Amino acid sequence: MNVVPDTSVVIDGRVSATIEDGQFEGATICVPEAVVAELEAQANDGIDSGWDGLEELQRLADLADDGVIELRYVGERPSAIERGHASEGEIDALIRDLAEELDATFVTSDIVQSEVARAKGLDVQHVSPEVREVGTLTVEEFFDDQTMSVHLKTDAVPKAKRGELGAMAYEPIADEPLDEATMDEYAREVVDGAKEAPDGFIELSEPGMKIVQFRDYRIAIGRPPFSDGIEITAVRPIAQTDIEDYEHADELKERLLERQRGVLISGAPGAGKSTFAQAVARYIADHDYSVKTMEKPRDLQVGPDITQYTELGGEMAKTADALLMVRPDYTIYDEVRKTDDFEVFADMRLAGVGMIGVVHATRPIDALQRLVGRVELGMIPQVVDTVVYIEAGEVSTVYDVKTEVKVPAGLTEEDLARPVIQVTDFQTGEPEYEIYTFNRQVVTVPLKDEDGGPADESGVDRIAKQEIEREIRSIAHGYVDVELRSQDKAVVYVEEDDISSVIGKGGGRITDIENRLGIDIDVRTHDENPNYGAGSGSGGASANSGGSSGGDSQPGQMVQPEITSRHIVIPVDGNHGETVEVQAGGEYLFTATVSRGGEIQVSRGSAIAEELERAIDRKDPVTIVPS
C-alpha cells in the first residue's frame, strides 16, 4: 500500500500518529520532494511550521528504521517558479499528480486539498488536525495580579512590569537567566497554544517575529536574526474600568452620545490610553451605538458585541473600506501612528463615522500637532474635535477643537484675519492654543505659560522674530539681528554691505517682506545697535553667546529649533556655508552644513529628526559647534 502525504498533514504530525494507531502499519510512505522543499523553505525563513514538519519527517525515519513502515522520497524538487506560486496551488497539484501516478492513498489535513483530490478521482483520506485542550502556558505562571507585562530573553534574568497604572516598576522576577533551549520551548508552547486554543490566534507571522493573541495575553516572540536572541514579551491588561471611574465622566459621556465625533485619546506609553479607550467603547456600545475596532495587533478587551478588525490584505485602508460598508456608528482605531494611519482615520471621519483614535503623545497638544501636515489644516477640527490626555491612568486634560475666522492673538492688523484653530480647555472653556498659517508656515501658539497663567509673550513675540530672521537671512550675506519694538514693529540690524540688498530698489524688497508678515521693519547697520558686541555679536562672533557659562560649558551657539509640518528648522547665526555639529545636552547628534540663508533643515520622519525631537521634548539645550 502506497501512501502520499501532503505538506499540511506532515506539519500537523498526523502521519506518524496515524501509523502508531496501526492504520498504515507496513505501508510505503512516499514523501514528495515538493513537501520537503516547502518545509525547508519555511524553516530557513524561521517559520515554526517548517521545523514542525522536519521533526515529523524524522519521526517517520525512526518508524522506518524500526521496520514499521517503508519510507521513500519521490518526485522531483519543484522549481523556484513553482515554489513562488505555492499559494496558488502549484505545489499541491504536484503532490496530487504523484499520488495519482503511484496509485496511492492521498492523505491531507487540508479540507480544500481533500475536496480537489476527490474531484480528480483520488483515494483520499482527510485527517482532521488534532485538537487538544490547552491548559496554562508556562509564560502565564510569571504573572500575578499586579503584573502588566513579562519580559523573557535568552541568557537574561526574567523581568516584569508590576504595580498600578502610573506607578509601574520594572523588576527581576527570578534569580537565574533562561537558556536558549528553555526559551525555545516556551516560544513553541505559545505558538502551539495559539493554534490549538479556540480563544487564541497568530496575529502576525513574519521571519523572526510572531505576535500571538492568547486569551487575555498579547505575546510577541522575536528570534534571530530579527533579534539578537530569543525574546518573549507577554502583556496583559491589569485593569478594566468604566467611564464613570474617570474625572469629567458626565461631560464626556454627554459629548460622546450627542453625535458621532472625532476623538484622540493620547498619553505616554503605559499611561492607560487603551484602558480608557476600552471603557469608552463599552459605554457607547451599551447606548445603542454600533462599535467596531481597528487594531494591529488586536488586544483591546471589549465585549462580544464589538467586532475587532485587523489589517485586511496587509493594509488598514482596505479594512476602512470594508468598515464603510458595515457602517459602524463609532470605530476605535488603536493605534494611530504612521501617516497612513492618520489618513485612514481622517477619511473615515470625513465619511461620517465617529472615530476614536489612540495616539502616543507626551503633551496634550502634541496629539493634535501630529495631524498637522498629514491633514489639511482647515479640515483638522472636522476630523478631531476632542482631545483626551491620559496621565497615570486618569483623564488629565480634555481639549475642545474648533475653527474660527479671526485675527490671531497678538496680531493687530484687521487684514491679517484668517482661519484659526482654537484649542480650548473643555472644563474651563478658556482658549489654550491657537494653530494657524503664518508666512506659509503652520504655527502652534500657546496662549498660557506653563503655570497656566497668561503667556508673557504674544503670538507675534514668539514667531515674528524667527520669521523676520528667516526672510532677511535669505537675502543678507552677513550676520542678522532682530529686535522687536512692539507687536507690529521691528528693527533689523545687518552688515553695512547688506543694507542695499535687504532694502531693495526703491525699498521694494523690504516692503514685500513687511506686507507678507504684517510688521513694519526698520533696517539698520550693526553700528546703530546699542547692544552690538554686548551679547548679540557680529557675524560668527556670537558662536558662544548662547552656551552655558562656567568652565565646564560646551562651546557653541545655543539655538532654538522650530518644528514645522515637514521639517525641523535650526536657525544659525553665522557659519554660513560651513560644516557644523549639532549637539543636544552636550551630546553629538549629527553633522550638517549651514545654508546661505543661515539655517539647517532636517526632514521630519528621519531617524535624526526623531532624535532631535526627543531632545526638544526633554528641553535639552541644542547647540551648534563648528566642526
> Which of 12-21, 446-455, 510-519 has the weakest average pLDDT?
446-455
Residue 252 shares a structural domain with residue 229: no
pLDDT reported for residue 268: 86
Task: Assign 3-state DSSP to the chain and report helix, strand, coil percentages, each to 5.
Answer: 35, 30, 35
Q: Is the pLDDT of residue 552 over 60?
A: no
Residue 430 shares a structural domain with residue 377: yes
pLDDT reported for residue 266: 94
Residue 256 shares a structural domain with residue 207: no
pLDDT reported for residue 270: 77
Task: Tell me whether residue 451 is in a domain.
Answer: no
Task: Tell me whether residue 209 is in a domain.
Answer: yes
CA 554 to chain centroid, in Å, comes to 35
> Which of 255-264, 283-292, 488-497 has the weakest average pLDDT?
488-497
pLDDT reported for residue 263: 96
> H or E element: which one contains 98?
helix 90-101
Q: Is 121 left (phi over 0), alpha (psi -120 to 50) or beta?
A: left
Closest CA to 523 of 505, 507, 499: 499
DSSP state of 127: -
Q: What is the CATH number of the domain that holds 412?
A: 3.40.50.300
> Which of 31-45, 53-67, 278-292, 606-620 has the weakest average pLDDT?
606-620
pLDDT reported for residue 297: 78
pLDDT digits (tens, 9 = 90+) for 369-385: 888 878 888 899 999 99
Contact indicator for 386, 399 with CB cutoff of 8 Å: yes
Burial class (CB in 10 A: 0-12, 13-18, 19+), 221: buried
Task: Tell me whether residue 131 is in a domain.
Answer: no
Q: What is the percent of the chain with per-residue pLDDT over 90, rounded to a whole number?
A: 31
Helix, strand or coil, per DSSP, at residue 184: helix
Task: Tell me whether residue 132 is in a domain.
Answer: no
Cell numbers 514538519: residue = 53
Q: Is the pLDDT of residue 545 over 50?
A: no
Per-residue cell: 127: 485527517
Residue 433 shares a structural domain with residue 307: yes
The per-residue pLDDT of the chain, averaged, comes to 83
Per-residue cell: 245: 471611574
Cα separations in angstroms, 540 against 42, 191, 238, 526, 598: 61, 62, 57, 13, 11
Q: Is the pLDDT of residue 481 over 80?
A: yes
Task: Tell me whether residue 133 is in a domain.
Answer: no
> Which of 36-45, 194-203, 280-289 has the weakest average pLDDT?
194-203
Alpha carbon distance 156, 172 (integer Å): 10
Residue 180: count other Cβ atoms within 10 Å of its Cβ: 12
pLDDT reported for residue 546: 33
Contact indicator for 467, 438 with CB cutoff of 8 Å: yes
Report which of residues 260 and 300 the model is more confident about: 260
Q: What is the CATH number of the domain that holds 480?
A: 3.30.300.20
**Tally of domains within the chain:** 5
Contact indicator for 559, 624 with CB cutoff of 8 Å: yes
Q: What is the percent of the chain with per-residue pLDDT over 70, rounded to a whole number?
A: 88
Report which of residues 341 and 594 the model is more confident about: 341
Q: Is the pLDDT of residue 311 over 80?
A: yes
pTM, entire model: 0.57
Per-residue cell: 254: 454627554
Report which of residues 100 and 576 the model is more confident about: 100
333: which strand partners? 294, 357
Helix, strand or coil, per DSSP, at residue 397: strand
Task: Tell me whether residue 32 is in a domain.
Answer: yes
pLDDT reported for residue 70: 92
Residue 573 shares a structural domain with residue 521: no
Alpha carbon distance 252, 608 (integer Å): 39
Report which of residues 81 and 442 the model is more confident about: 442
pLDDT band at residue 132 under the 50/70/90 scheme? low
pLDDT band at residue 547 under the 50/70/90 scheme? very low
Q: Is the pLDDT of residue 448 over 80?
A: no
Contact indicator for 425, 399 with CB cutoff of 8 Å: yes
Alpha carbon distance 345, 340 (integer Å): 9
pLDDT band at residue 175 under the 50/70/90 scheme? very high
**CA angle at 10 for the pair 5 and 14, rounded to the nearest 5°:** 95
Alpha carbon distance 59, 63 (integer Å): 6
Which residues lie below 8 Å from residue 506, measured CB to CB, with a gap of 6+? Answer: none
pLDDT reported for residue 449: 64
Q: Is the pLDDT of residue 81 over 70?
A: no
Q: Given CA atoms 238, 244, 247, 253 in this order, what sign does their dihedral have?
A: positive
Closest CA to 391 of 479, 272, 501, 286: 272
Task: Tell me whether residue 455 is in a domain.
Answer: no
Domain encompassing residue 182: 139-235
Residue 308 shares a structural domain with residue 369: yes
Alpha carbon distance 385, 260 (integer Å): 10
Residue 456: count other Cβ atoms within 10 Å of its Cβ: 8
Residue that is last in its domain, among 421, 446, 471 = 446
Locate all alpha helices (DSSP H) within 220-292, ordered by sequence. Answer: 249-258, 273-285
Alpha carbon distance 369, 362 (integer Å): 11
Residue that is last in its domain, among 126, 147, 171 = 126
Report which of residues 590 and 132 the model is more confident about: 590
Burial class (CB in 10 A: 0-12, 13-18, 19+), 353: buried
pLDDT band at residue 318 under the 50/70/90 scheme? very high
Which residues lie below 8 Å from residue 225, measured CB to CB, with a gap of 6+? Answer: 208
Q: What is the mean pLDDT of residues 409-422?
A: 73
Report which of residues 549 and 459 the model is more confident about: 459
Q: Is 532 left (phi over 0), alpha (psi -120 to 50) or beta?
A: beta
Q: What is the CATH number of the domain that holds 96?
A: 3.40.50.1010
Q: Is the pLDDT of residue 78 over 60?
A: yes
Alpha carbon distance 293, 365 (integer Å): 24
> H or E element: which one contains 319?
helix 316-326
Residue 347 shares a structural domain with residue 492: no
pLDDT reported for residue 201: 84
Q: Is the pLDDT of residue 452 over 60?
A: no
pLDDT band at residue 538 under the 50/70/90 scheme? very low
Alpha carbon distance 625, 627 (integer Å): 6
pLDDT reported for residue 28: 93
Per-residue cell: 11: 506539519
Alpha carbon distance 293, 323 (integer Å): 9
For every residue of 198-230, DSSP letters joined together read: TTEEEEEEETTEEEEEETTEEEEEE-TTTSSS-
Residue 144 shares a structural domain with residue 122: no
Closest CA to 499 of 481, 533, 474, 524: 524
Alpha carbon distance 416, 438 (integer Å): 9
* Range with the largest mean pLDDT of 119-133, 264-278, 403-417: 264-278
Residue that is last in its domain, among 210, 235, 260 = 235
Cell numbers 461620517: residue = 352
Contact indicator for 398, 388 with CB cutoff of 8 Å: yes
> Which of 286-290, 408-412, 511-515 has the weakest average pLDDT?
408-412
Residue 34 shares a structural domain with residue 60: yes
Task: Tell me whether residue 454 is in a domain.
Answer: no
pLDDT reported for residue 455: 53
Contact indicator for 303, 290 with CB cutoff of 8 Å: no
Which residues lie below 8 Å from residue 42, measured CB to CB, with a gap of 6+? Answer: 49, 50, 51, 53
For every residue of 438-480, DSSP letters joined together read: ETTEEEEEESB-TTSSB-SS-HHHHHHHHHHHHHHHTT-SS--
Residue 154 shares a structural domain with residue 203: yes
Per-residue cell: 615: 531632545
Alpha carbon distance 389, 422 (integer Å): 17
DSSP state of 193: H
Residue 220 shares a structural domain with residue 279: no
pLDDT reported for residue 627: 63
Residue 399 shares a structural domain with residue 316: yes
pLDDT reported for residue 4: 93
Which residues lie below 8 Å from residue 626, measured CB to CB, with a gap of 6+? Answer: 543, 556, 575, 578, 580, 581
> H or E element: which one contains 72?
strand 70-74
**CA angle at 429 for the pair 428 and 433, rounded to the nearest 5°:** 110
Cα separations in angstroms, 294 against 198, 297, 320, 321, 351: 21, 9, 8, 12, 16
